[in-house]
Structure 1
Amino acid sequence: MPINQFNIKGLNSEQVNSSREKFGRNTLNYKKENTFLDVLLRIAKEPMTILLLVASAIYFISGETGNGIFMVVAILFIASISLYQNSRSKNALEKLKDLSQPHCKVIRNATRIEIKSEELVVGDFLLVEEGSSITADGTIVQSNDFSVNESILTGESLAVFKNQEDPFIYSGTIVASGLAIAEITTIGNETKLGKIGKSLENINEEKTPLEIQVSNFVKWMAIAGAIIFVLVWIINYWQSHHILNSLLQSLTLAMSILPEEIPVAFTTFMALGAWRLMKLGIVVKQTKTVETLGSATVICTDKTGTITENKMSLAKLFVLKNNAVVRAEEELNDSEKELISYAMWASEPIPFDPMEVALHQAYQNQIKNDDRPNFKLVHEYPLGGKPPMMTHIFLDKKGNKIIAAKGAPEALIRVATLNKNEIQQIHSAIELLASEGYRVLGVGVSNFAGDEYPTQQQDLPFEFKGIVAFYDPPKKNIQRVLEAFYTAGIQVKIITGDNAATTASIAKQIGFKNADKTISGDELMALSEKELPTRVMETAIFTRMFPEAKLKIINALKANNQIVAMTGDGVNDGPALKASHIGIAMGKKGTEIAKQAASLILLDDDLSKMVDAVAMGRKIYTNLKKAIQYIISIHIPIILTVFIPLALGWIYPNIFSPIHIIFLELIMGPTCSIIYENEPMEPNTMSQKPKPLSATFFNFRELSISIIQGLFITMGTLSVYQFAVANNYNEAITRTMVFTVLITANIFLTLINRSFYYSILTTLKYKNDMVLYIVCITIALVGLILFVNPLTAFFEFETLNSPQLLTSISIGFVSVIWFEIVKIGKRAK
């Protein structure tokens, strides 16, 4: 039925622009967060920035202007890196926000079009239907059995029916049933939601377990740094009685302890990970989802449109009075055409479901006299019941009435008057069609004569007319997708509203594991609390599912310590999508309510993207773990090289000053955030079991590797220190050799920790241009410091001769290369 049956033309382009100029865009504008000034203030409050400012002030007070200027330049450089990283993250998130923005349907220039909700203007005619989100305030001009869930505004969970008596709809509410067209009266901050939404400004998003771990680790390191800072200040002052110099040395140690790169790396990895997923066609609504993706142990997927193409074609018909199954493309008799006609009248007047689109198309092809413009929908029973059915009542100007219903054949059998023989014939037809993989719908007609319709459609008297069967072929790539999930140690379960025979037939075609292990929604709900966990884990296909049953499956899987990803597109998927760890909505066929409940959206409705998403989640987690282990490993030798000579009273107690530490920080920051963030996925990533969601970067096993690596590098720096002293080298040469060992170890640690399994010879072949850039920049800068006299003097170094330089590089290399032997042992196992 065409949209212009409502005689609504809507706004033209000129009127849209005029309205937008007068009333603005349909966006909620409150407090702006993460502005340039906000970021600068946050950087200024960072412990490392405060330490640098104090150190630069001491240098200026002491008359060491060159060192003071260097520290100021370092502060500006670090701030610029932070601003750049923040800008990358912010831009990535803005793009994600734009893609995940709700869409809506409007009538403009007498045509129905889909636009972003922010493009809606006052005066637009908004078309809303079951499952869609209302994106502005308006007044209903046309509706059919239209009800809205207004709980976001009122707290009342029951749907409210809207009509000419109560014609107002509000932004943020969700359509529970029916269809309506409303003229928009208010948008943006002026809507009812916009006015009360001001209070949402101060609501802070909860931190994820990983964020809490990172925050706690940095906090405890900061506390440790503060304690050691005071201790070293006292020791230094006790020995030198020079307050400013003692303060500088204690600041040096405090700066070496703070792992400020970790929170920066975490934020960068998550935001850019979400951006990379977006480029793959996966919109992550919250970056916290990225850290969960690599842990998924179960994927619960719908059948229609996810496993199958969702390209429904009317394939076969079964007319009860003929007791015969015929092909839809054959020449049809009157009773078969009548069945198509009633199936169409039982569909939405403006079809959007693929099966209803197919029925309208079949009606158009088979019926010569199109009665759709003559009839008006006067009453609608939305899809409901267990199993579900829906009923539409149409009336023309002459008073002729059509009452048609369609739904699960079992639902129509229950409400129709049938004898045993007819029921047997229907069941035989269902079994035949379902076993061939067809999706079947029963069709019924009622001759109810009155105008006072019963509350429930099941109370109408129905005649069972027949069955329409649709074929929806499996997607061509679905078998490869399933194999990828199985290889990654992820179980796949089908949760569908379809019947068991149809689903099992499709499942067998695509090589789905355990296709014979099925359970229906009613059977599931009847299980005891004791039986449920085991049965849910053993079952692969769940059929004739409804919202409560879907939610029960998800909760049972979670109770079994499974990390659950759930795909969905309809209104009834909302609760289960929300309850799952990773709710996945379909971008094309998904309703707005499904998209709102989900944590990520597949733009192309392609399940293979979930393989990419899981792989990306695992890659990001692995690379972030490498970055954090690198940071911990390289911080340990810096801390101990500063602390041990001082604490043990060695001949050169203050081997490093703040300018040396800040130079090392300038190298370490880009290394962890740029090199490791750009690392490709390792070959064995998707053949490993999912990591537990409770896994932490800071458990003993992970920390012990980093600590041992750090202690070996410390042995290298302190051994070259003692070597220099034993050879009567002065403080400048000793400092230069220790620094060279540390830089060499840093470079090789970066290369070796690119994999904790594969050898450095393998990882050198990985495609990551950033490795070459960062390593070359590091070597170039160190070369300038060691061999350009003004810089060498500024850093209190002395140019090394060939044996001294070779000794330092060799010790730095040996202090990290030993880990390759550990990796050989891992591969041997």
Structure 2
Amino acid sequence: MGLTEKEAAERLRTEGENVFGESRKAVPVKIFLGQFKDVMVMILLAATVVSVLLGEITDAVTIILIVLLNAILGFVQEYRTEHTLEALRSMTSPTAKCWRDGKLTEIDAAKLVTGDIIELEAGDRIPADGVVLKAAGFFTDESILTGESTAVGKTAGDTTDRDNSLNKPNIVYCGASATKGTCRAEIIATGKNTQMGRISEMLTDIDSEATPLQKRLAELGKIVAIICLVVCAAVFGAGVLRGENAFDMLMTGITIAIAAIPEGLPATVTIALALAVSRMLKQKALVNKLHSVETLGCTSVICSDKTGTITENKMTVTELSTVSENYGFSGMGYRVSGAVTKGDNIAVNPMTEKALTEALRCGVVCSTAEISAHEAPKSRNRGTLAGKGEWKVTGDPTEAALLIAAAKAGITRESLSGSCRVIEEYPFDSETRFMAVHCQWGSEKRIYFKGAEEVLLPRCSQYMDENGKASPMTAAVRRELEERAADMSDKALRVLALAVCTSENFDPDRGNLVFLGFAGMTDPPREEAKTAIRKCASASVKTVMITGDHKNTAVAVAKKAGLLKGGKAITGAELDKLTDEELDRDIGKYTVFARVEPVHKLRIVKSFKRRGEIVTMTGDGVNDAPAVKEADVGVAMGVTGTDVTKQAADVILMDDNLATLVNAVEQGRCVYANIRKFVRYLLSCNIGEVLTMFLGMIMGMPVVLLPVQILLVNLVTDGLPAVALGMEQPESDIMSRPPRRSGEGFFAGGLMWKIVIRGIFIGLSTLASFTTVMRMGGSVEACRTAALITLVVSQLIHVFECRSERKSIFRMNPFGNMKLVGAAFLSVAALAAAVMIPQLQLVFSTVTPDMVQLLAALGFSFAVPVLANLMHNS
């Protein structure tokens, strides 16, 4: 049976290993050099060269240290992410049970070739695509490929079939999990030829795009470059017109232009992003690509997978309907606590409800799943179970749901073991569509059945009444049960019929079953997802659900999750009938996309992007990977996500929770707001410095500030305060504002106007301080010292103004950002040391100001925010 080792080795040489193609691991040197591609960094490197040529070695060393710090921060973040992702990569099955040389051996799954025959059982990961040769009650979870949350039954069909198209009952697919039963299959496709491999190949056709922040920073870099050229030309022209030496004026112009460069900006942006990444990791979101943090902030559409993201991916029995009564079960998912009720939430004692008890016994007996809890749950009264945490589940999720429902009624496999002994088990078969268990129950023998309603109900000639007695199944009762099953299906409940036969020799065609009840189960929406969807709506972020599940199921879940308000549902087949133009026009009407395939998901994302939306796409299966990569921000699931999807994603949710993604969107908005804040701060300050030097020279004054004093200003104002500003917490209303438009410029909302006006105020106040002390008879050193104090203090006051674009400094809590308070204190201390300590006075050419000079310098510093606030309120 199977291939010989020699045949397998020959095929391995021609076909290659059973792998998808190793992803190119990022080389550390390449990651590091990639940090220098930014426009601002290139300008800084050019400024370093110019500084060296001018003999300003101190300036050059300072700039190069800042550039290196920025590169190291970016490198550490990306390199650490690479290693974290390596730890998460665990998609393909590491081993496979394969027949070689007539013996069943365990081999490395990468060594599988076509023609190999493998054995599969519950819990196995399928290592390659294969045709089923033999199966016994075999089910697989193919959700990673199809998005379908329900296990799929597999049967032997045409064993010569070599077509591995999706959704075939005689084909098992690579990456899917075996949930129940056993199977023998022949490998028909490996590696890139499997369905999973083909989808992963689609990823190579999708090009990476610059993020909105990278585009904005490139735009900012160009503006700064233009400002530098304009300043250089203006100083040069003004000096030549005054009769100064042309070469000296060119050098002076270049020096002032370099002062205009916000050299702290790249490092501060990187630090702000890295801090956001750290905060997001604590909130269970791992960022793969640093700049994607900010892109999340301008997300306008979230395309979310259903299973496990909006829902819990834990089947739960919520209803059980007997002929005489409808029962409800509280406690969603695998939570230990829960209760059984009937009617208008009336507590029941299951032991007095004969039909209910027998139906739950049937569910326990007809189950191969296992549930266990850390601590034994307590039942304060029958029908109510109290306990902490969740059940640990192994086996089929549907059968586990029945076990958990029975446990809430005090019925467990252990409690039945004394009175029920299994004689024979007939596994679920996709042809008969039911499972049966023959058991000895006390002195009598019974056969319990669990299966499809349309299969078992017609075979029921009796039903169990409220007293536990078998009564004849009348046409009226049968009609009522059919309607009840239809009602449960309309509520997107998966309906299972439960029945029993007390005859030892059951003949399926005779139909002598006793109907016990219908169990209705669902994959419930996460409570956090409901909250997250409401939060998105208030933030003007559209949330849509994309799933491979049936349309009715998807719509029912969407209603429960609060997604369908005013929106419509559409299937993949209906999408195929629309042209791209029609889809682009109407896509805003839909909030649910059901029965979709990978190509549909990719098309949906592209359509939203063509409409100018910033799209975030979540996914866990290989079928999601192309759309995840195409989206502006791709988000993979860390728990259920596949290797291919994680590699394609920008962000990985470690808890598979939509609420975590919404928190990440909030952090992204906060990051962009903070970047705008310190860009405003740094540019305003640099404009103030340039104007101080430029206007002083135009007015024929002595050099207002010496180069070493300008360096001191940059050290105490551009460093710690700007970084601390990047740590500002999100403003309370940040998630009640609409996302910014994709084409919106960095300086939108009048930011450039604020920067220029504030820079002019800082420059004029510094010049006013210099001239005032000069008129008081102060020395040139005293004038420069006063100007230095005014320039630094006015900038430190301005950093507090930059904490909000909507509130003035007088309407904000000054201690709302204690890191900023600390940074400002250190900067003031450094300024005081440079002005007061004799040794530092020699270095920075300063003198100790007298009280009048100090008050004048501080007065001009505080005049700036007062004037700015008056203008703001006018």
TM-score (norm 2): 0.64
Q: Of residues 258, 263, 266 in structure 1, which corresponds to 2:261?
A: 258
Taking the aligned partners of 2:719 and 2:549, their CA distance within structure 1 comes to 53
Partner of 1:525: 575
Distance in structure 2 (CA, Å) of the matches to 1:770 and 1:810: 26
Q: Which residue of 2 aligns with 1:787?
A: 836
* Letter in structure 1 aligned against 2:299: A
Distance in 2 of aligned mates of 1:220 and 1:788: 39
Is 2:431 the partner of 1:431?
no
2:85 pairs, out of 80, 100, 107, with 100
Structure 2 equivalent of residue 697 of structure 1: 746
Please say if 1:293 is aligned against 2:296: yes
- Corresponding residue for 1:755? 804
Q: What stretches of structure 2 of length at least 5 have no aligned partner? A: 3-21, 98-107, 113-117, 119-124, 129-141, 146-158, 166-172, 176-183, 329-354, 369-392, 407-411, 414-419, 435-450, 456-475, 499-516
The residue type equivalent to 1:519 in the other structure is: A
Measure the CA separation in 2 of the matches of 1:470 and 1:409: 16
Q: Distance in 1 between matches of 2:631 and 2:37?
A: 37
Matched residue, 2:103: none
Q: Residue deviations 1:71-129, cap 9 Å, x none? A: 53x6545544544444343333333333334223656899xxxxxxxxx9999999636
1:29-178 map, 5 Å: 31-33=27-29, 47-48=43-44, 51=47, 55=51, 71-72=57-58, 75-101=60-86, 102-104=89-91, 128=127, 169=191, 174-175=196-197
User: Counterparts of 1:569 and 1:336 in 2: how far apart (Å)?
Assistant: 31
How many angstroms apart in 2 are the aligned matches of 1:173 and 1:631? 52
The 5-angstrom pairing of residues 328-347 of structure 1 reads 330-331=357-358
Which SS does the other structure have where 1:678 is aligned?
coil
Q: Is the 8 A contact 1:93 1:275 kept in 2?
A: no
Deviation at 1:171, TM superposition (A): 12
* Paired position in structure 2 for 1:775: 824
Q: Identify if the C-alpha distance between structure 1 residues 108 and 501 changes in structure 2 by more than 3 Å, giving closer, same or farther.
A: closer
One-letter code aligned to 1:606: N
Residue 734 (structure 1) aligned with residue 783 (structure 2): yes
After TM superposition, the structure 1 stretch with the greater mean CA deviation from structure 2, 677-686 or 689-698, is 689-698
Aligned partner of 2:358: which letter?
E
8 Å CA contact 1:571–1:594 kept in 2: the answer is yes
Structure 1 residue 247 displacement after superposition: 6.4
Per-residue deviation, residues 374-430 of structure 1 (Å, max 9, x unmatched): x9x9xx99xxxxxxxx99xxxxxxxxxxxxxx99999xxxxxxxxxx9x99998465
Going from structure 1 to structure 2, the CA distance change for 1:316 and 1:337 (only over 3 Å counts) comes to farther
Letter in 2 for 1:631: L
CA contact (8 A) 2:41 2:266 kept: no
Please tell me whether the aligned partners of residues 294 and 616 of structure 1 are also in contact (alpha carbons under 8 angstroms): yes
Alignment CA distance shift 1:367-1:751 (3 Å): farther
**Pair 1:820–1:41, CA change in 2 (3 A):** closer
- Of the structure 1 ranges 727-736 and 234-243, higher mean CA displacement relative to structure 2 is found in 234-243
8 Å contact kept, 1:299–1:566? yes
* Contact preservation (8 Å) 1:517, 1:540: yes
- Partner residue, 1:490: 541
Residues of 2 paired with 1:534 and 1:407: CA distance? 41
1:310 to 313, 324, 333: 313
Q: Residue 666 in 1 paired to residue 718 in 2?
A: no
Match of 2:770 among 717, 721, 726: 721
**For residues 167 and 209 of structure 1, do their structure 2 counterparts lie closer, same or farther at Cα, with a shift above 3 Å needed?**
closer
1:368 paired residue among 402, 422, 428? 422
Among 589, 592, 614, the residue aligned to 2:643: 592
| 1:282 correspondence with 2:295 | no
Structure 1 residues 605 and 50: CA distance shift in structure 2, 3 A: closer
**Compared CA separation, residues 577 and 212, structure 1 to 2 (3 A):** closer
Q: Do the aligned residues in 1 keep the contact of 2:63 with 2:263 (CA within 8 Å)?
A: no
Say yes or no: does 1:651 pair with 2:697.
no
* Aligned equivalent of 1:605: 656
Q: Secondary structure at the match of 1:368?
A: strand
Q: 1:367 to 1:552 in 2, by over 3 A?
A: farther
Q: Quick one: structure 1 residues 95 and 30, their matched pair in 2 at CA, closer, same or farther if it must change by over 3 Å?
A: closer
CA distance in 1, matches of 2:452, 2:263: 60
Aligned partners of 2:816, 2:802: CA distance in 1, in Å?
Answer: 15
Over the matched positions of the two proteins, sequence identity in percent amounts to 23
CA contact (8 A) 1:43 1:49 kept: no
Contact 1:521 1:546 survives alignment (8 Å): no
Query: Which residue of structure 2 lines up, in the alignment, with residue 474 of structure 1?
Result: 525
690-699 or 591-600: which moved more?
Answer: 591-600
How far off its partner does 1:505 sit?
Answer: 4.5
- Residues 458-469 of structure 1 mapped to structure 2, 5 A cutoff: 469=520
2:674 pairs with 1:623: yes
- Asked if structure 1 preserves the Cα contact closer than 8 Å seen for 2:96 and 2:109, the reply is no
Does residue 818 (structure 1) correspond to residue 867 (structure 2)? The answer is yes
Q: For 2:563 and 2:34, locate their aligned partners in 1 and report how far apart those are by CA, in whole Å.
A: 52
Matches within 5 A, 1:219-234: 219-226=222-229, 228-229=231-232, 232=235
Given the superposition, is the C-alpha separation of residues 696 and 536 from structure 1 closer, same or farther in structure 2, using an over 3 Å criterion? Answer: same
Residues 686, 809 of structure 1: CA spacing in aligned structure 2 closer, same or farther, 3 A cutoff?
A: same
Check the 8 A contact 2:31/2:79 in 1, yes or no.
no
- Summarize the alignment of residues 5-24 of structure 1 with structure 2, pairs less than 5 Å apart: none
Give CA-to-partner distance per residue, 1:481-506, whole Å, 9 cap, x none: 23222222223333344445545554
Aligned amino acid, residue 715 of structure 2: L
Indicate whether 1:637 and 2:688 are aligned: yes
**Pairwise mapping of residues 572-583 of structure 1 onto structure 2 (< 5 A)?**
572-583=623-634
**Structure 1 residue 357, shift from structure 2 partner:** 6.7
The Cα of 1:707 is off from its aligned counterpart by 0.8
Greater Cα shift, 332-341 or 777-786: 332-341
Aligned to 1:688: 737
How many Å separate the matches in 2 of 1:172 and 1:259? 52
Paired amino acid for 2:701: I
Query: Residues 356 and 269 from structure 1, CA distance in 2 versus in 1: closer, same or farther, beyond 3 angstroms?
Result: farther
Change (3 A) 1:207 1:481: closer
Q: Deviations over 1:528-565 (max 9, x none)?
A: 55764565423444444444554454444444433333
3-state DSSP of counterpart to 2:750: helix
For residues 542 and 812 of structure 1, what CA distance do their matches in structure 2 show? 59
Residue deviations 1:454-486 (CA, integer Å, cap 9, x gap): xxxxxxxxxxxx998533333233333232222
Question: Structure 1: how far apart are the matches of 2:283 and 2:160?
Answer: 40
Q: Which amino acid aligns with 2:293?
A: V
Specify whether residues 556 and 758 from structure 1 end up closer, same or farther in structure 2 by C-alpha distance, changes over 3 A only: same
Measure the CA separation in 1 of the matches of 2:292 and 2:68.
Answer: 24
Asked if the contact 2:614/2:742 (under 8 Å) is kept, the reply is: yes
CA distance, structure 1, for counterparts of residue 497 and residue 603 of structure 2: 27
The alignment's C-alpha RMSD in Å is 5.5
Amino acid at match of 1:276: R
Query: Is the CA contact (8 Å cut-off) linking 1:92 and 1:272 kept in structure 2?
Result: no
Comparing 519-528 with 620-629, greater Cα deviation is found at: 519-528
Q: Which moved more, 1:667-676 or 1:761-770?
A: 761-770
Write the letter of the residue equivalent to 2:74: S
Alpha carbons of structure 1 residues 567 and 359: separation in structure 2 relative to 1, 3 Å:
farther
Deviation per CA, 1:187-227: give whole Å up to 9, x if none.
xxxxxx9xxx9x99xx9965334323322432453354246
1:608 to 1:579, Cα distance in 2 relative to 1, 3 A:
same
1:349-395: per-residue Cα shift (whole Å, max 9, x none)?
x998844876999999799367799x9x9xx99xxxxxxxx99xxxx
Which piece of structure 1 moves more, 267-276 or 237-246?
237-246
Residues of 2 paired with 1:300 and 1:495: CA distance? 7
Please report how far the alpha carbon of residue 756 of structure 1 lies from its aligned counterpart in structure 2 after TM superposition.
Answer: 1.7
User: Aligned to 2:521, what secondary structure does the other structure show?
Assistant: strand
Q: Cα–Cα, structure 1 residues 85 and 248, in superposed 2: closer, same or farther, change >3 Å?
A: same
